[in-house]
Structure 1
Amino acid sequence: MSERKLNINWFPGHMTKAKREMEEKLKLVDMVIELRDARIPSASANPLLADLTKQKPRLIIMSKADKAEPIYSAKWVEKLSKEGVRVVVMDLNHDNVIKIVSEAARELMKAKLERQIRRGIRPRPIRSMVAGVPNVGKSTLINRMAKKKAVQAADRPGVTKALQWVKVSKELELLDTPGVLWPKFDDEQIGLRLAVSGAIRDEILPLEEVAVFAMKFLIQHKPEVIEERYQVTLSDDPYVMLERIADARGYRLKGDVWDEKRTIETFIRDIRDDQLGRITWELPDEM
């Protein structure tokens, strides 16, 4: 194994179309709900979205809270709130999403709703665009809000390919949008964090680079996790650590050759399946 530069190029046609449609539909919405992954709150912030939605009130939902470390999630809320947006941390599968999102939407739109009431206008439902990078939980949020399978959801990127309106209550309507990435990662660390989280399809990923990035991070920040999961002694070299995992799991080919592909895939799958526990891959104090 030899260290190489990350090269990810993924901006399929449906994303280009979605970006154009989002620009058009923004005229119809009152606010934007932007989902970010609580494990990577900065890396999962799409700069295209920030540019598109800068004129709209915005609620940031840090999803997958059950996969992130609470101490860092709290610090991220404090950090992001200073940018003048409302921020909440949520486990979309277990939290009371209807109550949390509805209250946050009413708070964000309070001034506009009060103006309408003063003018004798009966407020219509708040219309909100739900946006974010792939596989961050947009469809899961909408289905929980609607109390039914209103949109298709899956734990992989690229499932939603078209915009769709969903009425979730008398006071709130949501516009589901496809997960949109941007054409080029100027900072390869962003691409690596998105790759670790599962926001990018594995078929186009350089998995070796992703595994090495993840191992370096764990060696520096959470070495006890590696020791406990794989029962191996620590090294500062990520390649040595991966080979030790191969030895511990019996992933050997002929002679002394270890099975790199199987080891890397196992390591990344363990991360995605939460076998290493709750890990925040982006620390607020280091950003």
Structure 2
Amino acid sequence: MMASTFVPRRFFPAIDSIPRTYFLGHHKAALERMKNMLSTIDHVIECRDFRIPATSINPLFEEALGEKSRWIIYTKRDLGGDLRLENQKREKMIQRWNRGSKVFFASQFNNNTIVPIVKSLKRHPFNIHKITGVRILVVGMPNVGKSSLINALRKYAMKRKNKVARTGADPGVTRRVGTGIKIIERSRGSVYVHDTPGVFVPYMPDSESMLKLGICGCLKHSIIPIITLADYLLYQINLHKPSIYAKYSPPTNDIVHFLEAFAAKTGSLAKGGIPNIDIAADKMIRMFQNGKLGTFIMDDILSVTLQLKEERLAAMGGSLNQAKKAEKLEKKGSNSDIVQTEVETYRRVDY
């Protein structure tokens, strides 16, 4: 008798009991502090998690930070898959989301991806005559890698190994807007960055987005039941590569069966050698967050890209010709200096 072929779940049910926000008091206070600092800020760097490039966008930054020049850095690039052609195409689509902003991809465990960012910072036409130096605000959702990015920038540009921005596996390590941290030293116009607390959105429209943010570490595990988070992670792994957990369990859609097998193999046991599935679930999620249980993007990049195209077309009155003309003008204005700084490491996007 032939073994049955494993069929992963094709959808994950909506769960009404999951909270739709993690917008805390210190998030609101930090956002107000950022607004008050805008007159002294020259530039904004917004960090987003490459594994959830759409879900980790916070519209509050668009509203609060106004017309300040901004770069978008997708962090944890190495946790979102390898550099196969399929993933390269996804990168190009993601770059097209951010009209008028430079886009970079930074890896958690590969500091070479910091080089183009530092080079662009050094070449950017900031006002270097300011007595206080160039001031950059680093913003993003909770735990998307802002502090780690600052440490990596300083380490490469200043050749300093000590960490100056506190980091941690859980959100909430940075609780207030920090003082300036020097990342580029010059006789005039040294560059300083300000670390900021992660700011959550006031409301998420669907439970699946909260689950994605939960397993990527953007909210505390206590907000959503840990078994529910693990179940959603199992669902995502099965869609991408169920063989990744072959040493722990046969392919399965049953989270309890998986966690019992996983607990036995990883020593996540209670007294008497009984599998502790809560501890196993937490360990499973943290392994994924460190790239040890699959690396992939959870957002549907193609759907988001098509949606943005439709919205931009509608904004142009439904005229495809007008939209194309606007794209060409935008390309000339925003991409004129990209070639010098990014061609060495990144593919340039042609709209």
Unaligned 5+ runs, structure 2? 1-12, 155-159, 305-351
Inter-partner Cα distance in structure 1 for 2:271 and 2:43: 59
- Give deviations 1:107-153, integer Å, cap 9, x for gaps: 6x44xx5xx7xxxx947743221011122221222223333433322
Counterpart for residue 161 of structure 1: 175
- Give deviations 1:78-121, integer Å, cap 9, x for gaps: 123223121111125542466422333356x44xx5xx7xxxx9
- Give deviations 1:242-280, integer Å, cap 9, x for gaps: 45545666878899x964323322322332343214233
Counterpart for residue 129 of structure 1: 137
Is the contact made by 1:142 and 1:151 (CA closer than 8 Å) also made in structure 2? Answer: yes
- Give deviations 1:176-206, integer Å, cap 9, x for gaps: 1111112222122221111111111223332
- Report whether the alignment pairs 1:268 with 2:276: no
Backbone CA RMSD of aligned residues: 3.1
Inter-partner Cα distance in structure 1 for 2:260 and 2:87: 32
Inter-partner Cα distance in structure 2 for 1:40 and 1:258: 31
Report the count of equivalent residues: 274
Q: Give 1:73 shift.
A: 5.3
**What's the secondary structure of 2:209's corresponding residue?**
helix
**What's the secondary structure of 1:202's corresponding residue?**
coil
- Report whether the alignment pairs 1:46 with 2:58: yes
Query: 2:245 pairs with 219, 226, 229, which one?
Result: 226
Inter-partner Cα distance in structure 2 for 1:133 and 1:69: 21
TM-score w.r.t. length of structure 2: 0.68
Counterpart for residue 118 of structure 2: 102
- Report whether the alignment pairs 1:185 with 2:199: no
Inter-partner Cα distance in structure 2 for 1:22 and 1:132: 12
- Report whether the alignment pairs 1:80 with 2:76: no
**Mapping 1:135-284, distance limit 5 Å:** 135-146=143-154, 147=160, 148-164=162-178, 165-169=180-184, 170=186, 171-227=190-246, 229-230=247-248, 232-246=249-263, 259-284=276-301
**Mapping 1:9-48, distance limit 5 Å:** 9-48=21-60
Inter-partner Cα distance in structure 1 for 2:108 and 2:164: 15
**What's the secondary structure of 1:18's corresponding residue?**
helix
Unaligned 5+ runs, structure 1? none
Q: Summarize the Cα distance change of 1:98–1:238 in structure 2 as closer, same or farther, 3 Å threshold.
A: closer
- Report whether the alignment pairs 1:285 with 2:302: yes
Q: Summarize the Cα distance change of 1:145–1:266 in structure 2 as closer, same or farther, 3 Å threshold.
A: closer
- Report whether the alignment pairs 1:69 with 2:85: no
Inter-partner Cα distance in structure 1 for 2:72 and 2:238: 31
Counterpart amino acid of 2:165?
V
Inter-partner Cα distance in structure 1 for 2:279 and 2:135: 47
Is the contact made by 1:33 and 1:60 (CA closer than 8 Å) also made in structure 2? Answer: yes
Is the contact made by 1:127 and 1:173 (CA closer than 8 Å) also made in structure 2? Answer: yes
Counterpart for residue 70 of structure 2: 58
Is the contact made by 2:47 and 2:138 (CA closer than 8 Å) also made in structure 1? Answer: yes
Counterpart amino acid of 1:235?
T
Inter-partner Cα distance in structure 1 for 2:119 and 2:269: 55
Counterpart amino acid of 1:86?
K
